[in-house]
Structure 1
Amino acid sequence: MAISIGKAGQNLKGSVPIGKVLFLIDALAWISALFIGVVLRYEFNLSSINWSAFAWFGLAAVILQFVLGLSLHLYRKGLRHLFGSFEDTLNVSISVIVVGVVLWIASLFVGQRWEISRGVMLLVIPLALVFVLAVRYLARMRVERLRRPAADSTPALILGGGYIGTNLIQWMMSDPKSPFRPVGVIDDNPELAWQRVRGVPVLGKFDDIAQVASDTGAELLIVAIGDADSALLRRVQDTANKNGLSVKVMPAIDRVVSKGVRGNDLRDLSIEDLLGRQPVETNVSEITGYLTGKRVLVTGAGGSIGSQLCTEIAKYGPAELMMLDRDETGLQQVLINVAGNGLLDTDAVVLADIREADAMKEIFLKRKPEVVFHAAALKHLPMLEQYPDEGWKTNVLGTLNVLAAAEAVGVETFVNISTDKAANPTSVLGHSKRVAEKLTAWYGQNSTSKYLSVRFGNVIGSRGSMLPTFTRLIMEDKPLTVTHPDVTRFFMTIPEACQLVLQAGGIGRSGEVLILDMGEPVSILEIAQRMIAMSGKDIDIVFTGLREGEKMHEELVGDGETEDRPFHSKISHAHAESLAPNNLDRDRFMQRAGKLASTDSEII
């Protein structure tokens, strides 16, 4: 009877259907068990055995097993029923025991006449159960052996023997095309010490990785921990680098639970993993309370923050989402993210410049947004140091234009996206965003609507930021430029920043500046060194010196600002100074930004 494993080890193909194979196995198991039981009962004296009675009991066992097997669905098509799940094993056991009990009861009535001892059936039942389950177990071992990754696949250590690690190993060990072969599990849980996870031994704790890698010949370390934070991942990378191991990571546990493990889930460790933090806990009810069913407008929708904000806002069911930007390509990209197409034939995208006051007022009066997220801004510090007027026109006057338009139509909630450089500002960028915060606070104090600002630091991977720049320089084998070996910055992932911005819009009070918790500042030099190490290239690092207006260490909270957190553990509320629009003065702004000679006039 030829049985072969299919292409992916998922199906059995042979000359006999699987159901028939299973029934024949069970029939032979019963006949064998009856024969052995009778022979043992009569102490191998074959002449004392009533072979006619043996045949009738054997036929009865086969028929009963067939009927019970059909009723319990033991003989369906499919490979899994050959070696069985837990439910299949239970059903097989039930069928064998029931058949055995029926035969034992029959032996009580006809045993004496047919010379079949009641003790024979008590011996036959466990024998038949062992035979039936043993055949399935051996079949399972055979199938799993044929399904295992090829011997030339990459030997891997699995960091984490929990749910994710178990599912990962199960996938690897059941896919002959898997490029990775688990050779050991690393887990600090003492309950798993010297255990096996899906047949793969737990060989030690995190501190044992070097020895285990040497003993097993592992070339890869896979992180299968759902709540692995950046600190752990940095430790993993350092350990892997010391021991010549590559590193890959698995997705979060909710992804594994909902969709299972897939071959493309494994990905290389990225610099974002090393800088990112735990997922943000947001109160969905607070967010939906002011977004769901409302007309929402996002300025700067084509930028990194703006586009992610649009993606997140769309999840909360706004009545209308208006995406405004002066960059038509950026609008096309955000439309693809939100609507799944880039046709640009919808009024969901608005091509306009916040510098144009009349255009802003016309758009607001026509579309009547109820919630506004103002993310449009110029953000490159050294560029604005060279062209401070551009910062004044966009970050100050542009913000004022949007605020005035919002006030004209009675916007319910206005959220101004600010930056950590607005705290004790020393640059044109910082001063321009600080003035934007003050203008927003003034509208908040002089309106029945809610106007507030949200301040946070650098966003990992945003367009034109440090990480994409470093990545490109490394790809082109060019040296990485770092301003100073001691310089640090705050970092946050784009999704985390946007989730906190949405949360802030729900809990913020009018006129406040809400400051997002950015965690600990990160050394730029360390980031550069890690990115070079991850690339495997020999890249130089060049120190250029701090640029004009640039700080060595950024601040999130300015002098005189409080850090009260009444509603959310990652959002601080600070009182913002206000500035009336009629008190704006370009010369005073330039003086404060260091672009005009000092005068005795009042400074903003």
Structure 2
Amino acid sequence: MTAHSRGLLGEKYLRKFPVGRFLYFIDVLLWMIAIVLAALLRYEFAVDQISWSIYAGFFVGAAALQLVFGLVLNLYRKGMRFRAGGFEDTVGVFLATAAVGSVLWIVSLIFGGTWGISRGVMLIATPGALMMMLGVRFLARILVSRARQPGPDSEPALILGGGYVGSNLIRWMMSDPASPYRPVGVIDDDPNLARRNVHGVQVVGTFADIEEAARRTGATVLIVAIGAADAALLRRVQDAAKRGRLSVKVMPPIGQVVARGVQGGDLRDLSIEDLLGRQPVETDVSEIASYLMDKRVLVTGAGGSIGSQLCTEIAKYGPAELIMLDRDETGLQQALISVHGNGLLDTNAVVLADIREADTLEAIFRARRPEVVFHAAALKHLPMLEQYPDEAWKSNVLGTLHVLQAAEAVGVETFINISTDKAANPTSALGHSKRVAEKITAWFGHTTGRNYLSVRFGNVIGSRGSMLPTFIRLIAEDKPLTVTHPDATRYFMTIPEACQLVLQAGGIGRSGEVLILDMGEPVSILEVAQRMIAMSGKDIEIVFTGLRDGEKLHEELVGAGESEDRPFHPLISHTSVDTLAPDHLDKESFMRRLGTTPHNTKESSR
């Protein structure tokens, strides 16, 4: 049997042990010892001068009073356990002991002359009993804590952060024999914690000492227990851990720790999203709920990464009806599972339709009468659309026009078109098609006077077909990572963050505007590839392929001549684009901008 297994058996035994009853009998025994010692001290060990029968009555009284006050103060409740803290128990023991001692001292004060006993015995016995009771509890907690500590089979860990999150993590580890990790040191830059202990674990240095601390303590894992660890800090952590040959684990957000404490499944591996992401975005729930609650909401492209997450977020705000539309039946099934918890598809919550079919769309809109529309359906792969620009025209331009026309026909109040940073100073078929979509959305906004607007942002981490899932698969298959250019950078945002800001934009956007989501600082694609390879522990080659047709070295969020006013939200800029009336749409002009014509695209030559 391993030490870990013995620890678990010991924990199981401790759970069944009647701690409350045991503590009561110990406290009664300590009262007897305290009274006897106090009497001996008071009478200077003149045993023949002590009225032992009277003090025996005091002992019985102490036993009865201790039970009464102990039950009142929950010192002996059924099912209680020794806890790692003990402040509440300490206060309870103090109050109970003081109450018992006070009552017995008053009795001795009133009847001492009659009974021939000293009034000072209880003044000596009470603090003596208190110190012994607290000492027994302290010793018991030490023994129980040792029994509950992780066994030698657990992995030695350094804890980065000795504050609230770190101390809770250490407390959990030191009291759970099933913990896979054993804290062997704390890393913290706070000078007030230098050379101190956090729940018995020594602070062994600052961030700069991680490598040396790992060597000295034998740690194999570094656990980040900092409530506000941003991407920049986590990148530094990864670099330091790599030098110290440590794996990295991260804790959940501090709000989760405060709400329910540390749990065994909370620790997870450091992910590339952690290294690219930012602090959680603060959204105004009231602004979002005001235009979604009790409204019929339709999402196009609901089977895609952004569309399905939008549906999940929208469902939280109590829409009267959520209509999920897509031409991808499998994507719709996954969205349905996320929103309704089943994928049966026998519901009118999902609509199988193609935005390229204007008549079908209008019929759906007239039948379902949506009041709010999120238009997320689009073709998005830049190199594919460079080969087949006609498809960009059909889906991103005409498809958007069809959705806008259907929305106008039924009086949709709010229309949010999901755009991309490729639309800022466009150089590709994707960028030009999304730019035209922004312009016709603005035209409908100005024409109808309703909130028809576009929201523009960059790469979304983990979206289907995006860079990160592609890199993950290539690494899993031990294939080289392809990077277009060593200096290429991109903006990144997590799917939930992007969707929250899109919903926020719908609450603050004005008719005809383009809202631009702040993506933070652009990130080097090469650095992402290198960090993902480092996290995998494999030796993967990076191959540079050169920039593809229409691709930029550095993306832009704001186009030439566009403003960056932020009147309502610190992460959302408001700007405007030229409007484009539907009857001015010109496919030949669109193709000429791309250096091609409808007659020489690869699609028409197939």
TM-score by length of 1: 0.95
Go from structure 1 to structure 2 and tell me whether the alpha carbon gap of 1:81 and 1:236 turns closer, same or farther (over 3 Å shift).
closer
Deviation at 1:135, TM superposition (A): 1.1
Which residue identity does 1:502 align to in structure 2? Answer: L
Distance 1:544 1:555 in 2: 22
Matches within 5 A, 1:47-62: 47-62=48-63
CA distance in 2, matches of 1:6, 1:157: 23
Q: Does 1:298 align with 2:299?
A: yes
CA distance in 2, matches of 1:545, 1:299: 34
CA contact (8 A) 1:449 1:510 kept: yes
2:34 is aligned to 33
Give the alignment partner of residue 9 of structure 1, picking from 8, 11, 17. Answer: 11
- Taking the aligned partners of 2:60 and 2:173, their CA distance within structure 1 comes to 43
CA shift at 1:513, angstroms? 0.8
Distance 1:73 1:418 in 2: 61
- Counterparts of 1:321-332 in structure 2, within 5 Å, are 321-332=322-333
State the partner residue of 2:434.
Answer: 433
Bigger drift between 532-541 and 178-187 goes to: 178-187
Q: Percent identity?
A: 71
**Code of the aligned partner of 1:306:** G
The Cα offsets for residues 165-197 of structure 1, whole Å up to 9 and x where unpaired, read as: 122111111110111011122222233333322
For residues 540-563 of structure 1, the C-alpha deviation after alignment (integer angstroms, 9 at most, x for no partner) is 000001111111011111111111
Q: Does residue 181 of the first structure (1) align with residue 154 of the second (2)?
A: no
Give the stretch that moved more between structures: 20-29 or 57-66. Answer: 57-66
Structure 2 CA distance for aligned equivalents of residues 265 and 109 of structure 1: 60
Could you say what secondary structure the match of 2:515 adopts? strand
Would you say 1:311 and 2:303 are equivalent positions? no
Aligned-residue offset at 1:440? 0.5
Q: CA deviation at 1:71?
A: 3.0
2:362 corresponding residue in structure 1:
361
Q: CA deviation at 1:246?
A: 0.7
Structure 1 distance, partners of 2:530, 2:174, is 36
> Contact between 1:413 and 1:449, CA under 8 Å: does it hold in 2?
yes
Paired with 1:308 and 1:402, the residues of 2 have a C-alpha distance of 20
In structure 1, the partner of 2:603 is none
What is the CA deviation profile of residues 84-140 of structure 1, one whole-angstrom value per residue up to 9, with x for unaligned ones?
Answer: 843232222111111111221222233345443222221111101111111111111
In the TM superposition, 1:473-488 aligns within 5 A as 473-488=474-489
Kept in 2: contact 1:11–1:78 (CA 8 A): no
Distance in 1, Cα, partners of 2:210 & 2:84: 35
Measured in 1, the distance between the counterparts of 2:573 and 2:487 equals 27
Match of 2:128 in 1: 127
Q: Is contact 2:419–2:434 with CA below 8 Å preserved after alignment?
A: yes
CA–CA separation in structure 2 for the residues paired with 1:319 and 1:5: 53
Q: Which amino acid aligns with 2:174?
A: M
1:587 equivalenced with 2:592 (yes/no): no
Following superposition, the deviation at residue 283 of structure 1 comes to 1.2
Indicate the SS of the match to 2:568. strand
Contact 2:298 2:374 in 1 (8 A): yes
Amino acid at match of 2:406: A
Q: Taking structure 1 as reference, are residues 311 and 188 closer, same or farther at Cα in structure 2, changes over 3 Å only?
A: same
CA distance in 2, matches of 1:82, 1:120: 33
Indicate the SS of the match to 1:282.
coil
Contact 2:513 2:576 in 1 (8 A): yes
Query: What are the superposed Cα offsets for residues 468-500 of structure 1, whole Å, 9 maximum, x if unpaired?
Result: 000000000000000010111111111111111
Counterpart-to-counterpart distance in 2, 1:83 and 1:66: 24
8 Å Cα contact 1:84-1:136 kept in structure 2: no
SS of the aligned residue for 2:448 comes to coil
Superposition deviation, residue 9 in structure 1: 2.4
Aligned length: 594
Q: CA deviation at 1:596?
A: 3.3
| CA deviations over 1:53-73 (Å, ceiling 9, x no partner) | 232222222222223223333
Instruction: Check the 8 A contact 2:491/2:555 in 1, yes or no.
Output: yes
Distance in 1, Cα, partners of 2:427 & 2:84: 71
Contact 1:325 1:351 in 2 (8 A): yes
Distance of aligned partners of 1:521 and 1:84 in 2 relative to their CA distance in 1, 3 Å threshold: closer
How far apart, in 1, do the equivalents of 2:568 and 2:199 lie? 44
> Match of 1:410?
411
Alpha-carbon separation, structure 2, partners of 1:280 and 1:118: 68
* 1:388-403 map, 5 Å: 388-403=389-404
CA distance in 2, matches of 1:21, 1:64: 17
The letter for the 2-side match of 1:262 is: Q
Tell whether the 8 Å contact from 2:20 to 2:80 is kept in structure 1 after alignment: no
3-state DSSP of counterpart to 1:12: helix
The AA in structure 2 aligned to 1:69 is: G
Match of 1:520 in 2: 521
1:550 paired residue number: 551
Give the structure 2 partner of residue 602 of structure 1.
none
CA contact (8 A) 1:26 1:132 kept: yes
Report the CA distance shift for 1:119/1:213 in structure 2 as closer, same or farther (over 3 A).
same
- 2:79 is aligned to 78
Provide closer, same or farther for how the CA distance between residues 17 and 273 of structure 1 changes in structure 2, counting only shifts above 3 A: closer
Q: Work out the CA distance in 2 between the residues paired with 1:487 and 1:557.
A: 18
Structure 2, unmatched stretches of 5+, are 1-5, 600-606
Contact 2:224–2:248 under 8 Å retained in 1: yes
* Residues 170 and 129 of structure 1: CA distance in aligned 2, closer, same or farther (over 3 Å): same
Aligned to 2:604: none
* Offset at residue 51 of structure 1 (A): 2.2
What is the rounded CA distance, in whole Å, between the counterparts of 2:34 and 2:91 in structure 1? 20
The 5 Å alignment of 1:495-506 reads 495-506=496-507
Query: 1:155 is paired with a residue of what secondary structure?
Result: strand
> Is this contact kept in 2: 1:83–1:137, CA < 8 A?
no
Aligned partner of 1:346 in structure 2 is 347
Letter in 2 for 1:91: G
Residue 83 of structure 1 contacts residue 139 of structure 1 at CA under 8 Å; is this kept in 2?
no
Q: Does the alignment pair 1:286 with 2:291? A: no
Name the residue aligned to 1:257. Answer: 258
Match of 1:601 in 2: none
Cα distance in 2 for partners of 1:250, 1:319 equals 37
Deviation at 1:503, TM superposition (A): 0.8
Show the counterpart of 1:277. 278
Shift of 1:162: 2.0
**d(CA) in 2 for partners of 1:597, 1:296:** 36
Distance 2:15 2:500 in 1: 51
Shift of 1:5: 8.3
Q: Which amino acid aligns with 1:378?
A: L
Structure 1 residues 509, 531: closer, same or farther in 2, change over 3 A? same
Cα deviation, 1:22-48, whole Å, max 9, x if unaligned, reads 221011000110111122222233333
Identify if the C-alpha distance between structure 1 residues 558 and 82 changes in structure 2 by more than 3 Å, giving closer, same or farther.
closer
Distance 1:174 1:474, change over 3 A: same
* 8 Å CA contact 2:420, 2:457 repeated in 1: yes
Shift of 1:6: 7.1
Q: Which moved more, 1:186-195 or 1:355-364?
A: 186-195
Greater Cα offset, 43-52 or 410-419 = 43-52
Q: What runs of 5+ residues in structure 1 fail to find an aligned partner?
A: 599-604
Contact kept in structure 2, 1:324 and 1:351, CA below 8 Å: yes
Measure the CA separation in 1 of the matches of 2:598 and 2:336: 46
SS in 2 for 1:156: strand
Residue in 1 that maps onto 2:334:
333
- Please give the per-residue CA displacement for 1:131-164, whole angstroms capped at 9, x wherever unaligned: 1111111111111110000022111111112222
Structure 1 residue 215: deviation in Å?
2.0
Any idea what the Cα deviations from partners look like across 1:388-414, whole Å, max 9, x if unmatched? Answer: 111111011111110111111111011
Q: Which amino acid aligns with 1:59?
A: V
* Helix, strand or coil at the partner of 1:514: strand
2: CA distance, partners of 1:13 / 1:384: 64
Equivalent residue, structure 2, for 1:44: 45
Code of the residue aligned with 1:319 in structure 2: it is: A
Amino acid of the structure 1 residue aligned with 2:58: F
The answer on whether the counterparts of 2:302 and 2:335 sit within 8 Å (CA) in structure 1 is yes
TM-score, normalising length: structure 2: 0.95
